Amino acid sequence: MALEAALENLCSDLRKLRDAIAGVERTVTQDRPEMEAVILVDEVSDDVTELESFCRECLDAAEAALRSVDPAFDAARLRRSLASAELRFHAIAHLLVSDLLTYEKVGALVGFGRKYGHEWAAWVHAVRLGLEKCRAALHGIWGAFLACWEEIAERLLTGPIALHTTNIGQQISSRALDDRTLETGMT
């Protein structure tokens, strides 16, 4: 896979994650029941908003990495942009897996939904499904980052080879070669 294709694949996967997070954010903020919410709901809302912000920054950095490849290859800008994108991605993964989808947080949400009625239970279910969709997208993105780094390493190791030639020595024309062949008796 070429570096450009690997970066385009990464950007495509990040756009899918952004869309999944945007869906969760709509559920958390706009589809929320009109009833009184608790701190837990506000925490989830804040975390999802932070996820969306990290994802936007991650995608911006990945797109900057893609722009650094074409038309002129800028290895330093590519490395910085891709590293920045990956740092934001790790923040997304950490927030999603280590906070929003922990057993404790999901258990608290499910208990909250049961306690406060059908509307909140449906909201909790929609939020959980959306977050699971986000988690599923993470695995493909980890692979996409790895493919980008592998392509960069391959390009830098095998990279463009510059060949400079110089003519040193005597110049031999075909006539001189024919004369030399005749002198040595070779045919």
Q: Rounded mean pLDDT of 56-84?
A: 92
Domain boundaries, the chain: 3-184
The reported pLDDT for the residue numbered 158 is 77
3-184: CATH, from 1.10.1040.10, 3.40.190.10, 1.10.3080.10, 1.20.120.230: 1.20.120.230
pLDDT bracket for residue 74 (50, 70, 90)? confident
pTM: predicted TM-score of the whole model, two decimal places: 0.78
Contact 21, 113 (CB under 8 A): no
- Please choose, from the candidates 124, 76, 116, 121, the residue with its C-alpha nearest in 3D space to the C-alpha of residue 100: 124
Residue bearing the bigger pLDDT, 151 or 158: 151
**pLDDT tens profile 81-119:** 999 999 999 999 999 999 999 999 999 999 998 998 899
Q: pLDDT at position 162, please? A: 54
pLDDT at residue 161 tops 60: no
- What is the pLDDT of the chain when averaged over all its residues? 87
What's the rounded mean pLDDT across residues 161-170?
Answer: 59
pLDDT at residue 170 above 90?
no
User: For residues 99 and 134, is the Cβ–Cβ distance under 8 A?
Assistant: no
pLDDT of residue 53: 96
Q: Is the pLDDT of residue 176 over 90?
A: no
Query: Which band of pLDDT confidence, cut at 50, 70 and 90, is reported for residue 12?
Result: very high
- With a cut of 80, say whether residue 142 has pLDDT above it: yes
Task: Read off the tokens for 160.
Answer: 């463009």
- Mean pLDDT calculated for residue range 40-53: 92
What HEC string does 39-107 produce?
A: HHHHHHHHHHHHHHHHHHHHHHHHHHHHHCCCCCCCHHHHHHHHHHHHHHHHHHHHHHHHHHCCHHHHH
